[in-house]
A and B are shown apart, each in its own frame.
Chain A
Amino acid sequence: MRANNFEDKIREKLKSREIRPSENAWEKLERQLDAQSPKKSTGKIYYFIVSAAAVLVLAFLLLKPDLPEETNQIVIENPKGKEEKEIPEIPEETDFVVMEREEKTEVFEDKTRNTDDQPVVVLPKKQEKVKENFLEKDPEIDDVLTEKARDLASQIQDLDTHSEDELVREVEELLKNAQREIFAGKIQSGRVDAAMLLQEVEWELDRTLQEKVFDFLGENFEKVRTALSAKMN
């Protein structure tokens, strides 16, 4: 009983006791709280970064099936190396011949081999270059053609025909005769290879001569020019 009284006294005294903290106690606590705050915010930032990374990974996994197609497109778009390997360089030799008569289909083919088994190589610039080279190769041919074209134009203007069809036939005949004369002269002079004439030059000269003639004749003979071009094609 006595002990209990004693202890009650102790309890009462100690429970009601208050000790005022030092003046800077709050400042100390404030500093500790400030020191703790960055850790919390850092944790939030870390959480945000981890969440963003998870979203990106998820997005990557969802879009992954589309990636192989894109990769193939990239490979196709890279022309270097592959073209050099797959398409052999074509030498500027007579093995390759212009096969078409239209400008839109420009195909070169190796005539010395079996054409069914050979790959067709499309080289538009190459073909154009051959044509230009041939006309520029011999300026004398050009001069002869111009001379002949002027004569033909004069003869055509003097023609006395009753219809347009008759005029076309007459002009065509005059062009063929003039062409034969030019070829005969060149072969005799050795300036033009006979095989070349038969295979490609013939058409080239025929066409060039015709164009020159109608250039001299002017717009009055535009119908005849169209008719002849249609017959040639």
Chain B
Amino acid sequence: MFETFSSKMLGVCRQYLKNLDLAEEVMLSAFLKVFLHLNDFKGEGSFEGWIRRIMIHECISYLRAEKKIDFYGEEKIENAVEHAVTSENTLEVEEIQELIDSLPEGYKTVFVLYVVEGYKHKEISELLSISENTSKSQLSKARKMLQDRIKKQNLFHYESK
């Protein structure tokens, strides 16, 4: 089971955690819970989906414990994308991850949960203990920030030619 799902689940954890070693550590912690609670899987939905949810919950628990998620007030916007991002249509996964990593933790978490995992704002609000409006505003800000970054990179790329 570990052999089958570990690579995919490490990709999931990496969405939320910038550091790959840290992502792996959290993934292992989540797998420990998977093994200890195998009997709790009731067969509702796919087994992979069940493991994936455990991974996401573990990542968010870690971020909360480390107090890295702040949905209120201005967060420091990291000076992220150093590599050239030519076009959103030609974005490679590493580039996408870099863009996402450049977002503040609150923006990033809501964006990944909504866009990648397909969670609704209600589910996100319950999972992160925030209001639905906060979830919506965080997503909106995340989108705008990403678009601006891509535009800037494209302009830089275009001008550099």
Q: What residues make up the interface of A, taking CB atoms closer than 8 Å to B? A: 3, 5-7, 9-11, 13-15, 17-22, 25-26, 28-29, 32-33, 36
State which of A14, A21, A26, A28 has its C-beta within 8 Å of the C-beta of B96: A14
- Chain A residue contacts of B91, Cβ below 8 A: 9-10, 13
Question: Which of A7, A19, A21 has most B Cβ within 10 Å?
Answer: A19
Supposing A10-B96, A10-B116 touch, asked if A21 and B32 sit within 8 A by C-beta, the answer is no
Residue B143 CB within 8 A of the other chain: yes
Is A21 touching B27 in the complex (CB atoms < 8 A)? yes
A interface footprint on B1-24 (CB within 8 Å = 1, 0 otherwise): 010001110110011000011011
The 10 closest A-B pairs by CB, nearest first: A18-B7, A17-B11, A19-B10, A13-B93, A7-B115, A6-B88, A19-B11, A29-B28, A32-B32, A21-B6
Is B11 touching A18 in the complex (CB atoms < 8 A)? yes
- Chain A residue contacts of B6, Cβ below 8 A: 20-21, 25-26
- Chain B residue contacts of A5, Cβ below 8 A: 88-89
Is A36 touching B36 in the complex (CB atoms < 8 A)? yes
Q: What residues make up the interface of B, taking CB atoms closer than 8 Å to A? A: 2, 6-8, 10-11, 14-15, 20-21, 23-24, 27-29, 31-32, 35-36, 88-89, 91-93, 96-97, 100, 112, 115-116, 118, 143, 146-147, 150
Is A3 touching B147 in the complex (CB atoms < 8 A)? yes
Bound complex: CA A32 to CA B33 (Å): 10
- Chain B residue contacts of A13, Cβ below 8 A: 91-93, 96
Is B116 touching A21 in the complex (CB atoms < 8 A)? no
Bound complex: CA A36 to CA B89 (Å): 47
State which of B35, B116, B146, B150 has its C-beta within 8 Å of the C-beta of A11: B116
State which of A6, A17, A32 has its C-beta within 8 Å of the C-beta of B28: A32
Is B116 touching A14 in the complex (CB atoms < 8 A)? yes
Q: Chain B's nearest CB lies how many Å from the CB of A5?
A: 8
Is B143 touching A21 in the complex (CB atoms < 8 A)? no
Bound complex: CA A28 to CA B91 (Å): 34
Is A3 touching B31 in the complex (CB atoms < 8 A)? no
Bound complex: CA A13 to CA B94 (Å): 9
- Chain B residue contacts of A28, Cβ below 8 A: 28
Supposing A36-B32, A36-B36 touch, asked if A21 and B88 sit within 8 A by C-beta, the answer is no
Is A29 touching B116 in the complex (CB atoms < 8 A)? no
Q: Chain B's nearest CB lies how many Å from the CB of A31?
A: 10
Is A14 touching B36 in the complex (CB atoms < 8 A)? no
Bound complex: CA A98 to CA B14 (Å): 111
- Chain A residue contacts of B27, Cβ below 8 A: 21
Bound complex: CA A33 to CA B1 (Å): 14
Supposing A9-B88, A25-B28, A32-B32 touch, asked if A17 and B147 sit within 8 A by C-beta, the answer is no
State which of A7, A10, A14, A19 has its C-beta within 8 Å of the C-beta of B20: A19
Bound complex: CA A10 to CA B11 (Å): 13
Bound complex: CA A33 to CA B28 (Å): 10
State which of B14, B24, B93, B97 has its C-beta within 8 Å of the C-beta of A25: B24
20 CB < 8 A contacts A-B: A3-B143, A5-B89, A6-B150, A7-B115, A7-B143, A9-B88, A11-B118, A17-B8, A17-B93, A18-B8, A18-B10, A20-B6, A21-B6, A21-B27, A22-B21, A22-B24, A26-B2, A29-B31, A29-B35, A32-B28
